[in-house]
Amino acid sequence: MIGEPVLRLRAETPRAWVEAVLADFDAFLQDHAANERKVVHSALTLAAQYPEHEALVEVSIEIAREELEHFAQVHALLKARGRGLGADGPDPYVGGMRRLERKGTADQLLDRLLIFSVVEARGCERFLLVAEALQDPELAALYQELARSEARHRAVYLRLCRELFGDARTTVRLEELLEAEGELVRGLPVRAALH
């Protein structure tokens, strides 16, 4: 799309990941639900931490609302399959991404927005892989819809970052974070979880 900033992930999710997800789809759904719940919280925290940035507050509320809807959708799926929400384990991917944030510096918000954008891009990539692999057309359609939504979040965070910090600073830091994310993803254990 013209004017749409480019964000190209550096590491492709391996086929083995899709196979692990399909082999234990309930475990994947439980982890997926936990991820959606956590991003609601992250988006609202962002709004609370930067109340002076009205555009950011609006974006955060809008995204939190959509993520809450995703959480409800995945929870309903689990319920229909006779399962509930799972235990809340640590997520090495999200933990690794959050450690890339330069906390307590003037670059903290720049980093936070770009990290959110990259994490959304990874979610989008993986939801599309799940959608392609699923046999159930209704379930596949849901994952396609979720992928579209995360793609929009990726673009919204990135656009906001460019508006607040300019193209040059955004592009330089985005490149660094994409490299780091690629390395992180290549080192992740393959499991029936979103990351």
Range in contact with Fe ion (rule: CB under 5 A) among 49-57, 61-69, 92-100, 106-114: 61-69
CA distances to 7, 30, 173, 189 from 179, rounded to whole Å, are 11, 29, 10, 18
Determine, following the binding rule CB under 5 A, whether residue 37 of this chain makes contact with Fe ion: no
Determine, following the binding rule CB under 5 A, whether residue 31 of this chain makes contact with Fe ion: no
Of 139 and 169, which has the nearer Cβ to Fe ion? 139
Cα–Cα distance, 170 to 42 (Å, whole number): 21
Determine, following the binding rule CB under 5 A, whether residue 32 of this chain makes contact with Fe ion: no
Q: How many residues bind Fe ion (CB under 5 A)?
A: 6
Determine, following the binding rule CB under 5 A, whether residue 153 of this chain makes contact with Fe ion: yes
Cα–Cα distance, 132 to 55 (Å, whole number): 35
Determine, following the binding rule CB under 5 A, whether residue 150 of this chain makes contact with Fe ion: yes
- Measured over the CA atoms of residue 39, residue 32, residue 182 and residue 175, the dihedral's sign is negative
Residues that bind Fe ion (CB under 5 A): 36, 67, 70, 120, 150, 153
